[in-house]
Amino acid sequence: MSFYQVMPTYHNPSGKKAYIMNMYTAPEYRRQGIAFRMLDVLIEEARKKGISQIALEATEMGRPLYEKYGFVPMKDEMELCSFD
């Protein structure tokens, strides 16, 4: 996950954002909650840094996991906002 700063907006007054670059679970370990738990860890780290918006690009295979977690589809990426 990378952290970056953008111009503050009404919905993100701090301008702080994060982007999840890549997540991958080996086939033999899928569907055991590992990726979901990794998202817990990443989002907790973002929360500690005062970040309320996290974006990522999702494959078709990964999309259900992110939607289950609360990410919402966008044009080319998905985003989780206001996860306090």
Model confidence pLDDT, tens digit, residues 38-60? 999 999 999 999 998 999 988 99
Count CB atoms within 10 A of the CB of residue 18.
Answer: 21
pLDDT at position 84 is 62
> Is-contact 80 71, C-beta < 8 A?
yes
DSSP element (H, E) containing 1:
none
Identify which has the larger pLDDT, 20 or 11: 20
pTM of the predicted structure, to 2 decimals = 0.79
Q: Give percent of the chain with pLDDT exceeding 90.
A: 73
